[in-house]
Amino acid sequence: MPLPLVFGVDGSFQVIESPTPPYKALGFVKTALFRIDQPALAQLDRDSPHPYALRDILTDSALYHATVFPLRHIAISGMSVYDAVRQTIFESVKDPQLSGEAMETLKWIAYEKWNGGGRDLPPFECPHCESQNATLPYNEEKGRCPDCGKELFITDMLGFHLEMAPDSAPDGVARDYMTIHETLLLFTGIRYFWEHNRDALRRSLFVKDGPLRIRAQYSKLVEPIRRFLAMARDAGIQVCVLGQEKSGAFADHLALIGDSAPIGSVFVPGHQYIREQIQHRPVAGAPYGKDTNYGAKVFVRLTDRHKMTLNIPTGEFVQDPTVANLIGAPQIFATLPTLLSSRYEDGLLPVELANAVASLSTYPSVQILTLFAESKAQGHAGKPSSP
């Protein structure tokens, strides 16, 4: 039986930089979480879904988040760019448009609040004095560094400041914020059902555009996420989460091997195969994805026209996963055929819808962004979206 409740999450970012000195730069990030029920999916014209039909479906069932960061050469009274970005990240995660739910989710993951007890925050590097002992009391959003006494935000735990200089932040800060916020939106849905309606959680599929991966220092959220998914599975609730990768080394590899795979086949590559055949790197060293991925890579050839690179969680890390390790695999594979888009050969409707949402006027146009940046700047898209 296909899962009747399908949620999609997506984000995009754009950096606008003025082409002349002092090269002011702003980073814009938007993310969305939306719900598409099977009846709505069934009504959609799969050959050419009209953008306004999509909008109607999504109007009453979507959460939107948008924010802007000063990245370079933007004056904020009394504050360095470094502190302004830290502050903006903290305030953005608390976004009142989302009733603070994304912040609740960050706390839920960081303090592992699902099992009733919770845990202390692991120590992180203080953004002020570089002490490695920075932490916060249980469930707090703000506090003081035990060594220098300056203010800490829970979002400092993620380590955005490790990539910033006092007066500039790289474009990557906007991209990494987008990834973190997409993950928080995804788990806001999961947390809500976990707390209020576990039966609905059993009937839901959460679909994310892109890999189930959080890179570098931000990967601190990966272990708690794995522990939650494993704990829920062991408690009898298969939380169904799916990522789709449409670009990158894994998608390129699928393009090579996909056409010769039998229809209806599923291939879950292990560490050695990924290192040798996809990354072309030595097999020795850390197991692939151990620190950063909360989903295993899964190649699927569903029909003669639909082949996909998916990510599906396994709970605890598995170096060489099989289909049996994939959480909710039977439910997910039963739902996939209902999500196929005939317009986009290898696309899943929730992902295509997310991209369509991103192109609707609920988001500022590049022109407005440019106006906002006070110059005739050329923007470059962080992530391409479909027309």
Instruction: Choose between 135 and 279: whose C-beta lies nearer to Zn ion.
Output: 135
Output 150 or 376, the one with its CB closest to Zn ion: 150
- Among 72, 128, 202, 297, which residue interacts with Zn ion (rule: CB under 5 A)? 128
Residue 144 or 290 with smaller CB distance to Zn ion? 144
What is the gyration radius of the CA atoms in the chain, in angstroms?
21
Q: Which of 44, 53, 66, 129 binds Zn ion (CB under 5 A)?
A: 129
Q: How many residues bind Zn ion (CB under 5 A)?
A: 7
User: Between residues 81 and 145, which has the closer beta carbon with respect to Zn ion?
Assistant: 145
CA distances for 174 relative to 30, 79, 387, angstroms: 10, 19, 22
| Interface of this chain with Zn ion, residues 147 to 166, rule: CB under 5 A | 147-148
Main-chain phi, psi angles of 86, to 5 degrees: -55, -45
Question: Restricting to residues 131-150, which ones interact with Zn ion according to CB under 5 A?
Answer: 131, 145, 147-148
Rounded to the nearest whole angstrom, what is the least distance from the CB of residue 220 to Zn ion in the complex? 18
Give the interface segment with Zn ion, choosing from 130-138, 253-261, 285-293, 331-339 (CB under 5 A).
Answer: 130-138
Q: In 3-state terms, what secondary structure has residue 149?
A: coil
Distance CA 27, CA 48 (A): 32
State phi, psi for 262 to the nearest 5 degrees: -65, 150
Alpha-carbon distances, residue 318 vs 32, 109, 275, 306, 333 (angstroms): 30, 21, 15, 27, 20
Of the candidates 126, 221, 274, 357, which one interacts with Zn ion according to CB under 5 A? 126
What length is written for the chain?
Answer: 387
271 lies in the binding site for Zn ion (CB under 5 A) = no
Residue number, 44 or 148, with CB nearest to Zn ion: 148
Rounded (10°) CA dihedral 159, 292, 114, 234 = -170
Question: In whole angstroms, how close is the CB of 133 to Zn ion at the nearest point?
Answer: 8
- How many CB atoms lie under 10 A from the CB of residue 1? 8
> Minimum distance from CB of 86 to Zn ion (Å)?
13
Nearer to Zn ion, 91 or 147 (CB): 147
User: What token pair was written down for 54?
Assistant: 């999509």
What residues line the site for Zn ion (CB under 5 A)?
Answer: 126, 128-129, 131, 145, 147-148
